[in-house]
Amino acid sequence: MSRCPYPDIRPFAPLATPLQGGKNRRRGKNEDDLNKRELIFKEDGQEYAQVVKMLGNGRIEAKCQDGETRLAQIRGQLRKKVWITAGDIILLSLREFQDDRADVIHRYTPDEARNLKTYGELKNDFTIHENAAEGEGSGDEDEDVVEFGEAEIDDILVSPPGPTSLSHHRPSHPIRSKPKSESESESASDDQATIFLYVSPTQWVKAGVEFDNGKMWDGSVVTNPYSDWAIARHTSQSSKRFTIAYNHPELKIFQGDDMVREVKFFGHAGTGTGSGTGAGADNAPGKVFVGIMGCSPKEGGAEVVWERFEMREGVRE
């Protein structure tokens, strides 16, 4: 799927401990816990919604009770506990700075959804799916179902990370991908071209582009220790530049000149939690690995070429 013109650059060795935050949930686990909890009602800044479509990578399209359709993100901590699928009734935390975005904070069982209707919390146009996320179906089913339209791909320009444990580097590294043909876009999914920063299996970052069944997305994933996705539709610009700026303990992700993500406490040696305690230089990780990452399904996908790789020192604000 990918090739690198630099023979001296070696790929990462296989990790002894796999990265956390991936698709490690299947149906039918911890179902007894669902019947032991109190009914949760919405508060200010929250809204009831019904899942319309699963978009992959923890993203969903949800129809909210206020009439708006929002792109919602399933939080990493929630993904470890419940199965969410199309038709589920969920509770969203709305984003003040992004009216069309939200975060999934709770999923209701069919019984809980009926109780919400009884209390007058849910509108009658919300249809309750009896078999939604209750463990029916094959245990081998994947967590996300992705449905997208036709491909919209331009050449991409990505700028990778390059820190050491205590100093800050801002590498410049373009990655270009060829547009997929119509036949390729129908069979390929989860193509990725990203820059990658790795501290531990519970602390890693990637930023770049991802092709999901006909749509190109710009975005990033920060695992610290739970995976948190941030995505946006890839525009028609001919190139994009991403930068991961790591100046311990702060980490920032830039798309062009705009900062799109900021983490105040990242990469604490020995904690694996990303908490804010002990944020000084003495708690910095001993080693930080940086590089480029290209992924493609077994059927094959877009060709990705890394054209150059260099790191620049200096703090970016």
Residue 129: C-alpha distances to residues 36, 133, 271 (Å): 20, 9, 41
The mean of the pLDDT values for the chain is 67
> What are the extents of the domains in the chain?
2-21+148-306, 31-118
pLDDT in tens, 12-68: 444 445 555 544 444 444 545 545 678 889 998 899 999 998 887 778 899 999 889
pTM of the model: 0.43
Strand extents, DSSP E, 121-267: 175-177, 191-200, 203-212, 215-223, 227-233, 242-247, 250-255, 258-263
Spacing of C-alpha 164 from chain mean position: 25
Among 61, 63, 64, residue whose Cα is nearest residue 74: 61
Q: Please provide the DSSP assignment of 26-67 as one string.
A: -TTSSGGGGGGSPPPPP-TTEEEEEEEEEEETTEEEEEETTS
Spacing of C-alpha 74 from chain mean position: 9
Spacing of C-alpha 218 from chain mean position: 11
Query: Cα–Cα distance between 11 and 20 in angstroms, integer?
Result: 20
Spacing of C-alpha 170 from chain mean position: 22
Say if residues 107 and 66 touch (Cβ distance below 8 Å). Answer: no
Query: Cα–Cα distance between 66 and 47 in angstroms, integer?
Result: 8
Model confidence band, residue 279 (pLDDT cutoffs 50, 70, 90): very low
* Cα end-to-end distance, the chain, whole Å: 35
Rounded mean pLDDT of 126-144? Answer: 52
Please give the pLDDT value at position 91: 92
Query: Cα–Cα distance between 283 and 249 in angstroms, integer?
Result: 9
Query: Cα–Cα distance between 188 and 126 in angstroms, integer?
Result: 34
Say if residues 88 and 50 touch (Cβ distance below 8 Å). Answer: yes
Find the DSSP H helices in 110-265: 110-118, 182-187
Contacts of 257 (CB under 8 A, 6+ apart): none
Residue 168 above 60 pLDDT?
no
Backbone φ/ψ region at 213: left (φ over 0), alpha (ψ -120 to 50), beta: left
Please give the pLDDT value at position 47: 94
Between 278 and 104, where is the model more confident?
104
Q: What is the token pair recorded at 268?
A: 């604490």
Of 3.30.70, 2.60.120, 1.10.3470, 2.40.160, the CATH number of 2-21+148-306 is 2.60.120
Please give the pLDDT value at position 48: 94
Of 2.40.50.140, 3.30.1490.20, 3.30.1330.40, 3.40.720.10, the CATH number of 31-118 is 2.40.50.140
pLDDT in tens, 280-314: 445 666 788 888 887 776 665 656 666 666 677 76
Among 180, 277, 303, 290, residue whose Cα is nearest residue 245: 290
